[in-house]
Structure 1
Amino acid sequence: MAVKNLVLLGRFGAPHGVRGEIRLQSFTGDPLAIASYGPLTDKSGKTSVKLLAVRPQGKDMLVARVEGVSDRGGAERLTGAELYIARDKLPPPEDEDEFYLADLVGLRAETREGARIGTVVAVRNFGAGDILEISPAQGGETLMFPFTRSVAPVVSVSEGVVIIEPPDETEVEEE
């Protein structure tokens, strides 16, 4: 079972060379800072990973040395693994309008008029941008809303609410 309140900081890619180095995609503001957070875990919180060193490789990738990994086979076993840290180990957001995506889970979702839509249960990203997944107040299947300024114009973590302005629905005629 996954540990709650974890924030995804990075994801391992393919091995780099034969000495145990591995490519790493960092999701931190400063990509190299991922190595400064101390031990990271998998989503279950059971497996711990310590990054010994990271260096840039190209525009969007790092190469990492991982404690206990000294050959290509060890690096291959890490391929695709995601690296998390407990939310409480991260610094607080600097501005009132800043937040971590993990902070959105559990917020009430409602309209500007105060009508309850439901509760944010996840923030997803399938490649085209972040999506708020909301469990409806009346039950049923979850609702998905693009997490954009036009659809979610107000986010107040301190008040526990995100205001949703659902986009107009469009009908597509079948041929």
Structure 2
Amino acid sequence: MSALVCVARIGAAHGVRGAVKLWTFTEDPFAIKRYGPLLSKDGKRQFEVATAREARDHLVATFKGVTTRDEAERLNGIELYVAREKLPATDEDEYYHTDLIGLAAVTTDGDALGRVLAIHNFGAGDIIEIAPLKGTTMLLPFSNAVVPEVDLTGGRVVIALPQEVEGEDGGEDLSPSRPRERGDP
């Protein structure tokens, strides 16, 4: 079976006729109607969108066979998936998160760092999470400066580790520490 990609999450019931709030993770929220039946994560349940209309920050949707509020309430929290091959091709420098997860992460010098664990977006842009070979998990901006190369065919991402983290004092040096001398700040 092809890799499944999460395209939406069902929220709370909306009204009394089986409608639900539906949060989509697609560029065009209404694209979920074009993918055919959507699947639960385990692939055992199918959902077909009957109607969808835009709301404030989500869609209000109905699914075929769901006609009451009770039935709609039981769907709350279900993530909806589609087979990867049903999704449109990406543009250059665009990637589906599922294509990146599991790739090897290497430094610009080719040294192994670990594997891509996840891609997050907490509202300020994408963050790449690297599970390192040793040490703690790294969360880095998924930008061209930090991730200058994504090689899907080669199964790797190249990471340019930042040397500084900017802060109020102009930046904290993340390079290896040196012994402090008298008079150092």
Deviation of the 1:4 alpha carbon? 7.7
Deviation of the 1:19 alpha carbon? 0.4
Instruction: Tell whether 2:139 aligns with 1:144.
Output: yes
Correspondence for 2:37 = 39
Instruction: Tell whether 2:125 aligns with 1:134.
Output: no
Instruction: Tell whether 2:107 aligns with 1:98.
Output: no
Contact 1:108–1:160 at 8 Å: present in 2 too?
yes
Instruction: Tell whether 2:106 aligns with 1:110.
Output: yes
- Identity across the alignment (%): 49
> Residues of 2 paired with 1:127 and 1:30: CA distance?
18
Deviation of the 1:117 alpha carbon? 0.8
Instruction: Tell whether 2:76 aligns with 1:72.
Output: no
Contact 1:42–1:48 at 8 Å: present in 2 too?
yes
CA displacement 1:8-56 (0-9 Å, x = unmatched): 1111122111000111111111111111111111222222211112111
Counterpart among 21, 24, 28 of residue 23 in structure 1: 21
Corresponding letter in the other structure for 2:139: M
Deviation of the 1:66 alpha carbon? 0.6
Contact 1:35–1:51 at 8 Å: present in 2 too?
yes
Correspondence for 1:8 = 6
TM-score, normalised relative to structure 1: 0.82
CA displacement 1:82-108 (0-9 Å, x = unmatched): 111121222222x33222111101222
Deviation of the 1:144 alpha carbon? 2.9
> Residue 153 of structure 2 aligns to a residue in which SS?
coil
Corresponding letter in the other structure for 1:54: A
Contact 1:99–1:157 at 8 Å: present in 2 too?
no
> Residue 88 of structure 1 aligns to a residue in which SS?
helix
Deviation of the 1:65 alpha carbon? 0.9
Structure 1 segments unaligned to the other structure (5+ residues)? none
Contact 2:17–2:69 at 8 Å: present in 1 too?
yes
> Residues of 2 paired with 1:164 and 1:4: CA distance?
28
The 10-residue stretch of structure 1 (157-166 or 140-149) with the greater mean CA deviation from structure 2: 140-149
TM-score, normalised relative to structure 2: 0.78
Contact 2:2–2:85 at 8 Å: present in 1 too?
no
Q: Which has the larger radius of gyration?
A: 2
CA displacement 1:98-121 (0-9 Å, x = unmatched): 221111012221111111111213
> Residue 82 of structure 2 aligns to a residue in which SS?
strand
Correspondence for 2:78 = 81
Contact 1:41–1:47 at 8 Å: present in 2 too?
yes
> Residues of 2 paired with 1:126 and 1:43: CA distance?
22
Corresponding letter in the other structure for 2:50: L
> Residues of 1 paired with 2:35 and 2:18: CA distance?
21
> Residue 33 of structure 1 aligns to a residue in which SS?
helix
> Residue 11 of structure 2 aligns to a residue in which SS?
strand
Correspondence for 1:56 = 54
Corresponding letter in the other structure for 2:71: G
